[in-house]
Amino acid sequence: MTNDPPAPQPAAPPSIQQMPERALPKRRTRPRPVPAPAPDGQPRMWELMPTTANRQCDSSAWRHLNPVVLVRPDWKRCHSPRHIAQCLLIFAALDFGGVVALGIFAEVVLAIGDVGSRFAATTIDPSWLVWTLLLLVYAPLGEEAMCRWPIAQRPRAFLLLPGVYIAVAGITGFPDAAQYLGAGILLDAVAIAVGLGLHLLSGRVRVLAAIDQRVDRWLLRWPAVPVWLMISCFALAHLARYEIDWSVTAILVIPVVVLPWLWFGALASIVRIRFGWWSAVMLHAAVNLVVLLIDVVFGLLALL
Ligand SMILES: [Zn+2]
């Protein structure tokens, strides 16, 4: 006969009377409208290299080009390096071709009547180094951080703010990176810091948590809204290259003027949803590299 202590009994569940009426929100927990993605499902943004298991993709690369994700984002990520490389190549070609074709179309529309006089190009003449940094560093990293990073399975209400900021800046002619360089980039950085700060604080400040939760719940119901909001903001931000003489005509023509960037943003958003944020950055950099190389060729021809 042993004298073992009795096995600890599992604690009885609290009775109904013991349960508080409503669990008070703890100060440091952030309400999560949807559970975080499974650790083996979606690697975090900073994980550039997926694990071997994640590199398998049973879909075909062609299926990843389907634009339906822009209407019904399904967040099915493909981590197959072969698919990513193939699709980025196809997307870059489509992207560049579309931007050129739609840019020509926009110029033709602007040439009609007095429409063009309402969009005076704001000319900048940066040095080659600054132009290279703008095209290959600022645009892919900055613009994609503001307009593609907030597109995610779990909505990020406050992270949409920097994208909205650059759209407002583009429309109002507020200092923009392409014209004012340092000042514009600094203001973009402030906008990103404010959005990110509010996003991080929403886990601690109750008012922000309430706003975040309410907007997130709405965004979960309409997942295509943040996608198209950011595509529109990205396009409107590029109005910075024009000084607009506002009129009804100007407002009606704006959708045509920004068509190339609507196209660019739509393709980059498909890539962001399918292949992740870094792939969208690479697509942006690849298209801008082609633009830069063409500029270099024309620059050299002008010297002859
Ligand atoms: Zn795939």
The answer to the question of residue 278 being in a domain is: yes
Quote the pLDDT of residue 112. Answer: 81
Asked if the structure places residue 192 within a domain, the reply is yes
In this prediction, residue 234 carries a pLDDT of 94
User: Measured at the alpha carbon of residue 295, what is the angle toward residues 119 and 260, in degrees to the nearest 5?
Assistant: 45
In 3D space, the residue among 128, 183, 190, 163 whose CA is nearest the CA of residue 261 turns out to be: 163
ipTM score for this prediction: 0.96
Q: How far is the CA of 259 from the centre of ligand 1 (A)?
A: 29
**Cα(59) to centroid(ligand 1), Å:** 5
**CA 187 distance to own-chain centroid:** 18
Is 231 within the bounds of a domain? Answer: yes
Q: How far is the CA of 269 from the centre of ligand 1 (A)?
A: 16
Which pLDDT belongs to residue 301? Answer: 85
273-292 pLDDT, tens digit each: 999 999 999 999 999 999 89
Residues 6+ away with beta carbon under 8 Å from 299 = 128
Residue 49: what pLDDT?
A: 52
Given a cut of 70, the residues of the chain with pLDDT beneath it are: 1-55, 122-124, 175-182
Between the CA of 268 and the centroid of ligand 1 the distance, in Å, is 16
> What is residue 258's predicted lDDT score, i.e. its pLDDT?
93
Strand intervals (E) in 215-273: 242-244
158 lies in a domain?
yes
- Say if 240 falls within a structural domain: yes
Q: Is residue 46 part of a domain?
A: no
pLDDT of residue 70: 93
Whether residue 94 contacts residue 267, with contact meaning beta carbons closer than 8 Å, is answered with: yes
Read off the pLDDT of residues 38-89 as tens digits, 9 standing for 90 and up: 444 444 444 445 555 566 787 888 888 889 999 998 888 888 888 999 999 9
Q: What is the enclosing helix (H) or strand (E) of 120?
A: strand 119-121
Q: Side chain identity at 254, as an amino acid letter?
A: I
Residue 276 CA to ligand 1 center (angstroms) comes to 12
Angle at CA of residue 270, ends 255 and 211, nearest 5°: 80
Q: Bridge-partner residues for 244, per DSSP?
A: 119
Spacing, Cα 235 to ligand 1 middle (Å): 28
**Does residue 24 lie in a domain region?**
no
Residue 233 to residue 166: CA distance in whole angstroms: 7
Query: Measured in angstroms, how far is the CA atom of residue 63 from the centroid of ligand 1?
Result: 8
Quote the pLDDT of residue 7. Answer: 53
Q: How many angstroms separate the CA atoms of 116 and 279, rounded?
A: 36
Domain assignment of residue 200, yes or no: yes
Which pLDDT belongs to residue 36? 46
Cα of 221 to ligand 1 centre, how many Å? 27
Tally the domains of the chain. 1
| Domain housing 85 | 79-303
